[in-house]
Amino acid sequence: MIFVVDFGSQTAHLISRRIREFGVDVKMVSPEEAYQKAVKEKAKGIIFSGGPASVYEKGAPSIDKRIFDLGIPILGICYGQQLTAYLLGGEVKRGKIREDGPATLKLNASCPLFDSVSPHSRIWMSHGDEVLKPPQGFSLIGESETIKSAAIANEKRKIYGVQFHPEVEHTEHGSLILQNFLEKICKISTRKTVISIEDIIEDLKKTVGNKKAIAAVSGGLDSTVAAALVARAIGKNLIPIHVDSGLMRKGTTEKVIRFFTDKLHIKPTFLKTQKEFLSVLKGKTDPEKKRKAIGKLYIDLFQEECKKYKDVKFLVQGTIYSDVIESRGTKNSANIKSHHNVGGLPKSLKLTLIEPIRHLYTDQVRAIAKKLDIPDEIINQQPHPGPGYAIRILGEVDEKRLEIMQKADEIVVGEMKRSGWYYKLFHSFPVLTGAKSTSVKGDGRVYGEIIAIRAVTSVDRMTADWAKLPPELLQKITSRITNEIPEISRVVYDITTKPPATMEWE
């Protein structure tokens, strides 16, 4: 059993996923309970996650120092490394600058943690503090371009620390580092594992029984997979409801109707509600207020629709774990943004929430979708946020700006597909920024809005790198947008990684 001590990292759950994929039992525990549980349950290894706090801040999460004397191998990641150094007498300080995104790890010494890891490799950083001086008995075994303490070790006590995140896809040898910790340091045998769809379906059968469930289906991958799993469990007792908010991509509604009718042989209920959504968004410019207004309207619409059916006891949602963690999924984590499908249901709805893929990531959901024989047009489509264009239009959303966004999005997606780049990317979309600039069109001055293009590569949404698109493709997109949409004066390209940026601008 490996313990992952959650200090509030956005990727703490991802650490657990990586360990579980090696066929090793893992348990996430709070810092307060870690020592007692490690003793009682005889943990074979302990991993300290990262977190948003600084070790020297008042109220920063800490841990019982006796945990270091148990003789159990420990790996501290990011904040976990800093806390280890701080509690054992090292020195931690605020770095000169924050470091978020790619860096290069240079190994200075051999160490079982880095067995078979190349001397220079790409890593992913997300930190503001750093270990200036390691504790007595620790050596500096890896550095980056900006810090000497990218990796520290006390091999005698089997205590290790890394400033970077081995759990994220963008760290080149991250999985190997975690595997080395398990096999070479904790002496645990590993094996690759896969998610069992049959187990998920069996659990759903036990939960729902012969009752009915309503499924909120947007046409996206997550809600489609969630509904398909429940349909496998309860058949035609599933009632899919698609809300056409007018904020989704063109053709979404037709795709939903086609899938549920042709593949699942269940006719979905279709609600056309663009007018209602634009009404609740009127006057709102704050992204959180927009998200919450959209979430509330969704609930109100489902509440009204529920009155038409008898014996409906459950509501199915396609929440995945990246939604949960950005909405402050654990005690010590920071709230990045709310998600319309996270936060529970009002008591007045009197439905039990079912989220069959809540603990999965996008790449895992895609793998399940293939096994469920979901069409490629759904599996391979790029994710579209639940609030849709409302969070890609910065500022107030009205009918005119929505029309501009729809035109721009059609251009971006169309050119990405024609060039062969669409299926290489995790995301590619325009953002109507609300900022304005001067341009010249037809010898006349135009003071119009600026559109930003965001295109990123990612596997599981937890980290992302900006896509190195060909200049010719960016030029083509820019020319079409500025020529075909008179209100747009300029197009810019967003090259920010995640972190520090989130996938969406809002």
* Nearest Cα residue to 396 out of 227, 270, 280, 248: 280
Residues 205-237: tens digit of each pLDDT:
999 999 999 998 999 999 999 999 999 999 999
Whether residue 429 contacts residue 383, with contact meaning beta carbons closer than 8 Å, is answered with no
- DSSP helix/strand/coil, 146: coil
Distances (CA, A) of 502 to 258, 399, 498: 32, 26, 6
Comparing 222-231, 262-271, 343-352, which segment has the lowest mean pLDDT?
343-352
Give the model's pLDDT for residue 254. 92
Whether residue 214 contacts residue 309, with contact meaning beta carbons closer than 8 Å, is answered with yes
% the chain with pLDDT above 90: 79
Main-chain phi, psi angles of 210, to 5 degrees: -100, 15
Give the model's pLDDT for residue 345. 54
Instruction: Output the average pLDDT for the chain.
Output: 92
Pull the structure tokens for residue 298.
């969704």
Comparing 147-151, 320-324, 418-422, 475-479, which segment has the lowest mean pLDDT?
320-324
Give the model's pLDDT for residue 95. 80
Give the model's pLDDT for residue 246. 94
Q: Which residues carry out catalysis? A: 78, 165, 167
For the cut 90, the answer to whether the pLDDT of residue 192 exceeds it is no
Reported in sequence order, the residue ranges of 312-410 that DSSP labels E, i.e. its strands, are 312-316, 352-354
Mean pLDDT within 284-302: 91
Pull the structure tokens for residue 390.
């409302």
Whether residue 179 contacts residue 27, with contact meaning beta carbons closer than 8 Å, is answered with no
Q: Which domains does the chain have, with CATH numbers?
A: 2-185 (3.40.50.880), 197-379 (3.40.50.620), 397-494 (3.30.300.10)
**Measured distance CA(218)–CA(244) in Å, rounded:** 8
Give me the helix-helix angle, 399-419 and 471-484, nearest 10°: 150
- DSSP helix/strand/coil, 420: coil
DSSP label at residue 335: B
Sequence-distant (≥ 6) Cβ neighbours of residue 264 within 8 angstroms: 227, 228, 231, 238, 240
Main-chain phi, psi angles of 14, to 5 degrees: -65, -35
Whether residue 47 contacts residue 3, with contact meaning beta carbons closer than 8 Å, is answered with yes
For the cut 80, the answer to whether the pLDDT of residue 72 exceeds it is yes
More confident residue, 100 or 42: 42
Mean pLDDT within 430-458: 94
Give the model's pLDDT for residue 341. 46
**Measured distance CA(248)–CA(389) in Å, rounded:** 6
- DSSP helix/strand/coil, 277: helix
Residues 3-20: tens digit of each pLDDT:
999 999 988 989 999 999
**Measured distance CA(40)–CA(435) in Å, rounded:** 58
For the cut 50, the answer to whether the pLDDT of residue 53 exceeds it is yes
Give the model's pLDDT for residue 499. 87
> What residue has token string 């348990």?
27
